[in-house]
């Protein structure tokens, strides 16, 4: 996926000793990651649209038609997931603009550079995310 590509393209940010959390350099680093990821996702979506238009074939064999429909359904599900990720990326970019990026939406503490490197769209610190997942498990039972 595009996220794997990003980690090779962008080395992790290594803060200098005493460096302030979410300073201008860090924000620029994460903005570049988010914008690049968004660009990759938009290209994938565009490519899928063109491919689906080019490969639109009516097969006489029902098995071939079913296989094609299955492939299209899978592709559309993937694109829907990517569309949702683009929305999260846009929200993260807005948080950067507002000066709220890198801080937990729930408790307000620093999310941490390593967590943001792994998931640049993270909105919760690891503790709050763990609690959220535990609550979800309890509700699902």
pLDDT tens, residue by residue, 104-124: 999 999 999 999 999 999 999
Q: How many CB atoms lie within 10 A of CB 126?
A: 14
Q: Which residues pair with 110 in a beta bridge?
A: 103
Asked if 29 contacts 10 with a C-beta cutoff of 8 angstroms, the reply is: yes
Contacts of residue 79, defined as CB under 8 A and 6 or more positions apart, other chains included, come to: 44, 45, 48
Structure token digits, residue 129? 């995310």
The answer to whether the predicted template modeling score (pTM) of the entire model surpasses 0.85 is: no
Q: Tell me: the pLDDT tens digits for 36-48?
A: 999 999 998 888 7
pLDDT grade, residue 5 (50/70/90)? very low
Domain architecture of the chain: domains with CATH: 2-103 (1.20.120.910)
Q: Which residues pair with 100 in a beta bridge?
A: none
């Amino acid at each position: 996926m595009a996220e794997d590509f990003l980690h090779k393209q962008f080395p992790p940010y290594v803060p200098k000793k005493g460096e302030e959390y979410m300073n201008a350099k860090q924000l620029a680093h994460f903005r570049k990651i988010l914008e690049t990821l968004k660009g990759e996702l938009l290209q994938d979506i565009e490519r899928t649209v063109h491919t689906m238009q080019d490969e639109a074939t009516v097969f006489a064999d029902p098995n071939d038609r079913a296989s094609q429909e299955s492939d299209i359904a899978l592709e559309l599900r993937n694109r829907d997931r990517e569309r949702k990720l683009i929305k999260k990326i846009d929200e993260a970019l807005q948080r950067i603009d507002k000066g709220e990026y890198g801080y937990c939406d729930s408790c307000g503490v620093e999310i941490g550079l390593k967590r943001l490197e792994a998931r640049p769209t993270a909105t919760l610190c690891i503790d709050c995310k763990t609690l959220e997942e535990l609550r979800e498990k309890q509700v699902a039972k």
